Amino acid sequence: MPAYTAPVRDIQFVLHDTLEVSQQDIPGYAELDPEITEAILDAAGKLASEVLAPLNLTGDQQGCRLENGIVRTPDGFKDAFDQVREGGWPALDCDPEYGGQGMPRVIGLAIGEIFTAANMAFSMYQGLTHGAYSAIHTHGTAEQKATYLPKMVSCDWTGTMNLTEPHAGTDLGLLRTRAEPQEDGSYAITGQKIFISAGDHDMAQNIIHLVLAKAPGGGEGTKGISLFIVPKFLVNADGSLGDRNAVTVGSIEHKMGIHGNATCVMNYDGAKGWLLGDLHKGMRAMFTMMNEARLGVGVQGYAVASAAYQNAAAYACDRLQGRAVTGAATPGAPADPLIVHPDIRRSLMDQKSFVEGARALSSWCAQLIDRSELGNDSDADGLVSLLTPVVKGFLTDRGFLTTIQAQQVFGGHGYIEEHGMSQFVRDARITMLYEGANGVQALDLVGRKLAADGGKPMMAFFELVKRTIKELEGDEDLKTGFLDPLKSASKDLQSATMFFVEHGMKNPNAALSGSYDFMHLFGHVTLGLMWTRMAAAARKALRDNTASLDFYESKLATGRYYMARQLPITATHLARIRTGSDTVMALAEDQF
């Protein structure tokens, strides 16, 4: 069975050495000193290792069961959820007005990584609740907030997002669920929703469904869509639970992975719902959840990869097979451990350099969100909006490939379910598909985000890269290993951006044929930037400290690997983008 240890030291390095959180001029950041964050991370790590991780394989093997209309979670999930609740973890980064602890998002993200790495399917029950909390917090009336948020902050009630219908996934304009206004000001919601994660379960007293539906008078397509709060149990005026609402679970899907999370078909048969936010402006409210969810899914991508990597590294040190090509490393043993082989190293370095770069990128985005939301910084908002599809699309694609690489280290044993490596792969696979399949992320990036606000966020990103390089230019040791490759990769990104500016309007197919490559090109540059920042932080720490040399040097070495072996692919992505749509769109439909 796979084990998991929270990488507290690595997270601390991102928070304090790299992002220098306690020195940031962001409300709430001043109190984030290293001792406090370490204590929080240690406590979360203990829960993750001792309670959540041991349930991961159980959850996969047992899955969820639908019994008499109620979803039963795998053995041990309910107890574990109680422990998460009792630890106050769901409240960590929620509004103190509703019982939250008011910590910044950057800490919430780190805890999210740890819990997800230990048990992704389990952590989704909490994660989706946070998304629904945010939507109500942003768009709800004072009464709605008072009614729902305290219970959701504590996770006594959990939340869901109800978007997809059988015939309407990405294209929400096609959805058919209706909302009929009632005399009491509520709406009667009728329709079927599918792929509803945590749609039902036995771990909370109530479930608050946020449901997209069409109310009369709203126009065609997405314009007519509104968002509704539809609780499983109606809530009485005194806050106690009342009647069961007319929402039922049709079935649980049989999925490739995340078996421990119930993915439900939900049937709404005139269920009582209340408008959340403005009528016919449901897409906007939905995007509050969605953007948060997309960053969260990016975190899932590298979090599961991180757990898979840990187990691959341990296996590589343990499993004896073959001899080092330079001569036996352990002559007394029957064979050397796998880790002596250069190709195993290559694989582990791919994994390690991705996971650590992804962690830094995601944490930086969380910091930008904090800066935007707590500090009202619209530039930060523009930047994180630009980066969201990159984080979601790139980190989940690469995160999934990392789980594949980790599984590969186990050889044939990786294919056997009891080792748990298959589960990492199967669980991670969903991250490329849900909350907007990654092709949709690429479309969002090239079709919307690139030109948003007159291209200001994109220009700001290039400016940031330039400034980072300029600031560090004096450090000769960073030049060859970091600054030169970053400069070169960033130039590829600029050339690609120019290609889209030139072709976007007059030949949109040419632009969109390169959207996926652009997302990956952008992703590599962001990780190159983060590794450069981490390298600079490690250099600084090495100058300042005499202790932990080993740790900081490993950061530099891992970063050098990424810059030397991963970043050069930006040239290939650029070459592909420049071929435009000619070869992509050449065939007629019946030639496929």
Asked whether 363 and 12 are in contact (CB, 8 A), the reply is no
Nearer to a second copy, 28 or 257 (CB): 257
Q: Token pair of 87, please?
A: 């630890």
Backbone angles phi, psi at 31, to 5 degrees: -85, 0
First to last CA, the chain: 43
| Closest residue by Cα to residue 121 from 14, 13, 232, 255 | 255
Of residues 297 through 336, those in contact with a second copy by CB under 8 A are 313, 316-317, 320-322, 325-326, 334-335
Task: List the x/- string, 246-265, binding to a second copy by CB under 8 A.
Answer: -------xxxxx--------
Sign of CA dihedral 290, 199, 394, 578: negative
Backbone angles phi, psi at 24, to 5 degrees: -80, 145
Beta strands in 110-240 (DSSP E): 157-162, 178-181, 187-197, 206-214, 225-231, 233-235
Tell the smallest beta-carbon distance from residue 512 to a second copy (Å): 4
Of residues 468 through 527, those in contact with a second copy by CB under 8 A are 508-509, 512-513, 515-516
User: Could you say which of 26, 64, 348, 383 contacts a second copy (CB under 8 A)?
Assistant: 348
Tell the smallest beta-carbon distance from residue 536 to a second copy (Å): 18
Asked whether 113 and 74 are in contact (CB, 8 A), the reply is no
CA distance 491 to 566: 16
Of residues 418 through 447, those in contact with a second copy by CB under 8 A are 418, 422, 425-426, 429-430, 432-434, 437-439, 442-443, 447
- Piece of 83-91, 101-109, 136-144, 414-422 that binds a second copy (CB under 8 A): 414-422
Q: Does 467 bind a second copy (CB under 8 A)?
A: no
Nearer to a second copy, 22 or 408 (CB): 408
Helix H segments across 163-242? none
Which residues on adjacent β-strands are paired with residue 165? Answer: 168
Among 31, 435, 473, 476, the one annotated catalytic = 435
3-state secondary structure of 45: helix
Nearer to a second copy, 138 or 321 (CB): 321
User: Could you say which of 217, 331, 332, 412 contacts a second copy (CB under 8 A)?
Assistant: 412
Nearer to a second copy, 15 or 163 (CB): 163
Of residues 140 through 199, those in contact with a second copy by CB under 8 A are 164, 167-171, 173-174, 195
Tell the smallest beta-carbon distance from residue 292 to a second copy (Å): 19
Q: Show the CA angle centred on residue 354, arms to residues 328 and 42, nearest 5°.
A: 95
Asked whether 177 and 192 are in contact (CB, 8 A), the reply is yes
Nearer to a second copy, 54 or 439 (CB): 439
Residue 473 bears catalytic tag? no
Nearer to a second copy, 177 or 422 (CB): 422
CA distance 344 to 309: 12
Task: List the x/- string, 383-402, binding to a second copy by CB under 8 A.
Answer: -----------------x--
Tell the smallest beta-carbon distance from residue 75 to a second copy (Å): 18
Active site residues: 435
